Each structure stands twice: as structure tokens, then as C-alpha cells.
Structure 1
């Protein structure tokens, strides 16, 4: 493919996107970005379109993203986690984004999979349901049966989707550059980092084998826990374009009527689900990033099955410890600690912001007196992120999925149990983490690490001493000390000595000339009076030089 052939589809795609955005009332923004009406398709704008239908700007944005296709639906879903950047009404609309796409005939899906596996699907499965169970923007889900009789689901990637998404990512990267040039103030939100995080996420989601690796990693974390399950993977037929997992025969997480009819204890399910997600986040540090009701099934004995691990989050140990410190800063009424962590997360430079600390102190005072059951985690998160928006602070990308998981879990828990208390559910794990960080085992581990480092230094000491002594014997041992402050002191002393010397010369000239002038009545050699006048003149010049030098150094 030539360069021109590669650019032409991108330009056609750009025309499609500009047309959709203009139809939903974003023409002014397009004009400012340099995308004039020449990109619009003829007849694409109709009277009475979305910008004049009484829709809010958030609703128009959501509809535009849905019409622009899978890349932008996924982008909107990722942006719905950025409650630190957008107002609640925009977040609410973005959370409504769903993969409303037409289904693809199974024959088209099968062609790409069979090319990847090297054999017909009919030779692998005893039965395949050609009618999809679900259709997303990236993949479709079909039921099937193995020759052994086991029921499975086939998640198959839509043909050609990678080409579309890669083209959209190129256009988005260009759009970010244009936006930064037109609106420099958005740089504080790190749009390139957001786009990089999105690109990594959507590329990982296109690799359906990666989703299964995520599922198995989460499953390993629950090996010693009862009541939590992840469908097993059939790796023999899993590849980048298709994964095969056991089919879950349970009650969908959103069907609470069926759950009650089956005699399930919804309070017990809420507690178990919260414990599972908090365990993933705070202890395993690898978690399901979207634990809503659509990604959960209920089994007898109040057991849960988590599905769909295309979107996962990872929390570094350092970030997890910072999160624990933040929560305990609120509990201990330490607004300075909370402010410092938020500013560190946002990468804020410069002086501290006293007004931010004052507002955080007010927030802590407002929630501190409430009983723990009266605290609403979702409202707390939105309050804190609203403070961050006010002070132009943004969360780092690796924490946005964490916030999304917390809010999703809190909402799902309250649907199952109106009295669900996320804070109370998190408290035992937080206390355990604090104990692990500061308890006897942590102190012993720190002492052990220090002892090991000391032992390594002691083992290296004889060799290092041998090298030093050998260099001394050869006369090659030297020391280099660079102390800027000592150099400044020496320079100051040099200047002082110069001033002192000049002052002595001026004083000598003045005294000498005065003696000569006083003796002018005596029998002196010819011209000595003139010499005395030159001495006075030199003393005046030297005094002026001395004064100017002292004044100049004082200004420096």
C-alpha cells in the first residue's frame, strides 16, 4: 500500500467524524480546530437536528460518540471514569454509552477465526449457535457445545475492527495536538497521557486472549476463597481473535426478582461481592475495573461469578500505600496529609495552595461526625474530585479505573442491599494493610532487608579497601570535593582583601600627601608640592573606585 492509499481512508473517516459532530451541534468547535465545512458530506446536515432538539450538551456528546463508532464509544466509556475532569451530568451521560451495533453474520466471523486456527470451527465444536447472545463494538458472543457435551461461549472479534480502530487512534492523536494548540489551558489535564492510556486499553481489549489471561490471574487470587468464581478458559482454541470459556448457568446480576425467587440472600451477596472487589484492589492490586451487575452472575448458596475481564486495572504497591494513607488522613482529620497526596497525584508544581487545604478540612469536618453507615462512598468520591476540578488538579490515569471500580461497586452493593456500607466493608482490609505496613512483621522485614544490605556492604568492604590501598601505594589516590558554598566564601574573602588593600593605599596616599602639604614652607626639592597634589588626586580616584566596587558587590 502506498502512502497516498494509506492516507485516503483516514481522510474519508475524518469526513465521517466531522459530519457527525457538526450534526450534533459542535460546528463552532470544529471551526476553531480548523475543520471547516468542506469536510461535511453533501446533504448530511438536516433541519431540526440534535443541536435544536432541546438536548443538553452532555446528551448531544453521548449521541455523537455512539454514532461515531466503536473507538469513540470505548473512549466515552473510559472518559466516564474521569470524574475528576467532568461534571456529574456529563459522567452520567457517558456511563449510558453502550455498544449498540448491528450484528455480523456468523459466516463473516468464522472466516477470520478459521484462518487463525487453521481448521473449520465445525470440526472443533459439536454445535454453534449462529444467533449471537450479545453483540459489542469489538466482539460478538455465541453459544456452542464441545464434543464432550460441555457448554461454552465463543467471543469472536468483529472482522476489520483493528483497521478501523487504528485509523481512529491516528486521527485522535492529531486531534489532541490541534486541541492543545487552540486551547493551551487543557495541557494541565495531560491529554496525551489520557490518549496513551486509552490506546493501550482498547488494543488490549482487541486481543481476546489477553482477556483470558486477565481472568486467570484474577481467578488465582481467589484460589483460597469460597463463593467467588471465574469461568475456566479453553486455551486449545483461544487466540487473539477468539476466546472460549465455560458458559455460566446462573442468574444475571441485574435480575434481582429472579434472585429473590431463588431464595438468595442479597445482603450476603452484597457483602461477598464487596469483599471480593476490595480484595482484588487492595491486596492483589489487580482488579476488575467495571464490576457492575451486567458482569456478574449469581449461583446457588449465594455464590458469585465474575465475567468479562477486558477492562482491568493495576495498582502499584506505592500507589496502594498512598491510597491507604489518603483514607487514613481523612479518618485522622489530617487535611495537610490529604492535600499533599492529592497534589502529588496531580503532579502539581509550585507553592502549596492554602485554599485547597481549607476546603479539604471543611470536607473532613463535614463527614467526620457522621456515623459510618450514613457515609455514601459515591458522594464522597464525587465531592473530592469536585474539589480537584476546582483547583485544576487531575488524577493520574492509573487511578481513574480504581475510582470507577469503587463507584460501580458501591452502586451495585446498594442495589442489592439499601443499607450497604462500603466504608464499613473496606475497614477490615484497610486495618490489615496498615498492620502489615507497620506491625512486627513489617518491622522485622525492614530489619531483615537492612541486615542483608549491611552484609552485602561488609562482604564488599575487603575488596574496596584493597583497591584504595593499592591506589595509595601507586600515588593515584586523590580526593575531589565540590562545595559550591566554600567557593562562594573564598570569593567573598578575595573581594574583601581587595577592598582592604585598596583602602590601605587610599589612606596612605591621603596621609602622605597631607604631610607633604604641611611641610610646604620648608626647603623642599622642586616639584614636591606638585607630587603632593597628585597624591591627593590619586586618593580621591581610589576612594571612588572603592565605593563603586563595594556598591556593585552589594547589589549582586
Structure 2
């Protein structure tokens, strides 16, 4: 398929659903209105699946945007699936040979030509490493990277058109959102990055003995081939024979605590923890799979999110609104009063929820995303991704041990994180950075102090006051100085007259001088009072007769 025909197909897809009311704020959407056709959400999902991997990922990304997508379509998008035929084994062998330098039969002691799983981006085969260890290789579909880049180019052009010519495109920031989708998808296509994620998560979560993350094998890994340890067990969402499994409260607690640590301690989050990506291993542990979709949070955002969650747990709607506004981009049309009202209502519902087994934090974050977008804020992509991850975590926890007080467990772990951060000593790296910063100031300070002294010595120090007009300021200062001088003269005349009247001999004539001083002081004092009253009551003359 040529680029032009592919672009035309994508454009037709966009036009088909433009007026279907999929996106909030586009033509066809009215708040509270029913769908014209109840089959539209499922048709949208089927069309996205037919368009291929980039659009499947687009649908998954849209399922994390309650601020952008209407509820019926949102529910359908959460069920979007990869429906693809397996890659021919000859193509798999070709990719492995090009990437690793030899066909799989020479690299591995055993290579199973029958795939364990096939997805839109890659296919997984069982292998045995030369040292006898069971492993799997994840092999990227031939040509998929080029096709995804081409589709993303088309989406970026459409997003740019929408952002330039529609209000909803400007409000929701279609261009940066598609740019974030591009970054995420291209990162998923880089299997070396996924291997690094596996290695990082293994180190960060090594304290959780009940969790298992497969080790990557870098000697058999490239940007298009990933080798990792095989996880023996069954998917959490598919127990063997459909027989319900016994409750595993301890595993559920470790999984929840591990996710709190990912978000608020390490800032690197496995963004897709649905039951299909979790495996109950044969040795009783919980294995985590698929580290292609990973979200990172900056230290500042982690701290803001931690404060937000604690404020929400305390029912502090105003505090949540303040933090939420700080996290978002404020648009010119923001309605701050309506935003704060809606946030306070959402926080009250969250804090007052009676079912302690439901992990409401994900719903709260998604609600805050929607409320912000409705009232002139552009929420960060991380907020909705984190909300969706926590929402996906809820059914996994329920399948491990239904009825656990997960909300109370979440709050307790948040407080533990706060305590650990307060008591945590400064790391060597952080201490070194602080020392280097202090050294920089100590080196620069003498020169800066010397320049300041030179400015003082040369009488070049200037103080700038914004909001004051210089001519009015000088005029007022002159008035004050004149009044002080007149007051001092009046006081001097009164004191001098009093001394002369007291000390001068009777009949010497100095009494007349004292009387003259009293009279002059009275005249000056009276004039000073009258002048002050008259000028202070007069309206200011700003020189503009038209005002």
C-alpha cells in the first residue's frame, strides 16, 4: 500500500467518526446526549484494529483519556485487542539472523518454531539458551517499524490541522499528544530499551520476594530481538481449567506496595498491569510481563502527586485543586471557580466512598483529568496514564484476593513513603551535587561582591520601583520635605519665643520679640494645616482631562 493510499484511508477514518460524537467538544457531541447508534463504539474499535498497530496503540491511548473521549467509546476502547496472524517462521528466523548474526538453530540449544504468542508488534518463541536455561525470544514483525512511523506521520499532519483550525484541537493539545504517542510507540519498538527496563525494575523491586520479573539476556538482545527468562505458570486472567485459585492476600499487598513505590519512589511505572500481563508462577510468585509500555515521572511531579493523594485522602478539595492546577497547563479560557467546585465535589465523593476494597485512586485521577479539560486546563499525559494504570491494577488485586481493604493499604503505604523520604539520608550523588553547587557559589561570590562594592563606591546603585511614576513620586517627596521643614521652623519659633519671654528682664522690650515669634509661628502653623487639608482632600490630577 502506497503512502498516499494509506494516508487517504486514515483521513477517511477520521472523517467517518468526526461527527459521531467520539470526542468531547467535537461536532456531534452534546453533554448528556444519547448515541445515535449504539453499535458505533464497537465499530470504532473494529476499524482501529483493522488499521493496524499504530491505531491499536492510539485506541489504547484514547482509553486513558476520559477528558477527551465520551464514556460509551471509552468503555469500548478498553477492550481493544491485537488480532493478527502469526509471522511466518521463516521471517522470524530471518530477523534473528540479521539482528544476532546467526540463525536461531545455531544460537540456541533449542528453538520452538510454534509461537507462544503473537501480537501486532512482535511474536514470542520458546528457546533454550546454550547454558540450558529456559528462555523466550520476542521477535519484532518485519517492516512494522516503518509502517508505524508512516502512520504516525499521517496522524501528526491531521493533528496539526485540527490544532490550527479547531477549538477542541487547541484545548486538548493534539500535536503534543500525538508526539507523546510517537515517543511511546517508538520506545516500544526498541527492544534494547525494554531489556533495560526489565533490568531496572528487577533492581528496584528486588525487596519484594513475592514478585518475579524475568531477567533479560543482553547477549541475545538487539533493538528488534529480546531474549529473557521464561516464566512458567499461568496468566492471572486465565486460571488453568477455569478453576478459581485460592486467595493470595500477601501477593496482592506486595503488588500494591510495589506500584506505590514505582510511582512515588522510583518514578518509573509499568503502565499496563492488567491481569493478562501478570502470571502466577509455578513456585507461587507473581510474574510481571510486558515492559514495553513504561511511563516515567520527574521528582517534582512525584512529589506533587504524593501531596495530591494525601490531600484527597484527607478530603482537602482546595488542596487537590491547587496541586492539580500546578500540574496542568493553564489555558486563557480557564474557569477557576467552576474547576475548584468540580474538584471539591470529586474529592468529597472519593473521601466519602464506603467500599474500601475498591482502589478509587485511579478513578480520582481520571476524574481530575476530565474536570481540568472541561474548565480550561490541559492535563499532563502522565496523569491519565497513571490513572489508567491504577484502574487496571484494581481487577488484578481483586483476582488475587477479593475483598481486601486496598484503599486503606494504599494510604498506609503512602504514609510510609512520606516517612521514608523525610528520614532518608542524602545520597552520595545528591551530596556531591550540593557540594559542587556550594563550590560554584563560593567561587563566584567574591567577584560578585566586588562588583557590588564598586557600584556602591561609584554611586551607581539604582533601585527600580515598578508601578510608581517618577514625577509624582518626586513631587510627593518634595511636599513631605516642605511640611517637615515648616513644622520644624514653627517648633523652633515657639521654643525660642517661650525661652525669651521667660528669661528676658521686665521692660527690656524682648517681650515684644517673643510675641512676634509666637505670632509668626501661629501663622506658619495655621498655613501648614490649611494647606495640608486642602491638598489632601483634592482629587489627584493625572493630567488627563478626559478621565
Aligned to 1:416: 400
Could you list the runs of 5+ residues in structure 2 that have no partner in the other structure? 21-34, 479-539
1:295 and 1:159 map into 2 onto residues whose CA distance is 24
Aligned counterpart for 2:57 among listed residues 70, 74, 83: 74
Secondary structure, counterpart of 1:84 in structure 2? coil
Give how far 1:329 is off: 1.8
1:13 aligns with 2:19: no
Aligned to 1:553: 544
2:158 and 2:444 map into 1 onto residues whose CA distance is 55
Shifted more, 157-166 versus 267-276: the winner is 267-276
1:70 and 1:266 map into 2 onto residues whose CA distance is 35
**Deviation string, structure 1 residues 116-154 (Cα, Å, up to 9, x no partner):** 222222211122222211111111111122233222111
Aligned to 1:102: 85
1:489 aligns with 2:481: no
Aligned to 1:236: 219
1:128 aligns with 2:111: yes
Instruction: Select the structure that is richer in helix.
Output: 1
Q: Is the 8 A contact 1:20 1:68 kept in 2?
A: no
1:160 and 1:455 map into 2 onto residues whose CA distance is 53
Question: Judging changes above 3 Å, is the alpha-carbon distance between structure 1 residues 352 and 70 closer, same or farther for their aligned structure 2 residues?
Answer: closer
Question: Judging changes above 3 Å, is the alpha-carbon distance between structure 1 residues 342 and 468 closer, same or farther for their aligned structure 2 residues?
Answer: closer
Give how far 1:228 is off: 1.5
Aligned to 2:267: 285
Give how far 1:181 is off: 3.7
Give how far 1:189 is off: 0.7
Give how far 1:114 is off: 1.3
Give how far 1:178 is off: 2.0
1:272 aligns with 2:254: yes
Q: Is the 8 A contact 2:116 2:124 kept in 1?
A: yes
1:341 aligns with 2:332: no
2:142 and 2:223 map into 1 onto residues whose CA distance is 12
TM-score, reference length from structure 2: 0.76
> 1:445-524 counterparts in 2 under 5 A?
457=441, 461-462=445-446, 464-465=448-449, 478-485=460-467, 488-490=469-471, 493=474
Give how far 1:233 is off: 1.2
Aligned to 2:306: 324
Aligned to 2:519: none
> 1:376-415 counterparts in 2 under 5 A?
376-377=359-360, 378-415=362-399
TM-score, reference length from structure 1: 0.75
Secondary structure, counterpart of 1:373 in structure 2? coil
Aligned to 2:339: 356
Secondary structure, counterpart of 2:139 in structure 1? strand
Secondary structure, counterpart of 2:544 in structure 1? helix
Secondary structure, counterpart of 2:113 in structure 1? coil
Give how far 1:11 is off: 0.5
Aligned to 2:146: 163
Could you list the runs of 5+ residues in structure 1 that have no partner in the other structure? 1-7, 30-51, 498-548
2:407 and 2:167 map into 1 onto residues whose CA distance is 39
Q: Is the 8 A contact 1:260 1:266 kept in 2?
A: no
Give how far 1:103 is off: 1.6
Question: Judging changes above 3 Å, is the alpha-carbon distance between structure 1 residues 461 and 176 closer, same or farther for their aligned structure 2 residues?
Answer: closer
Secondary structure, counterpart of 2:257 in structure 1? helix
Q: Is the 8 A contact 1:265 1:302 kept in 2?
A: no
Q: Is the 8 A contact 2:139 2:225 kept in 1?
A: yes
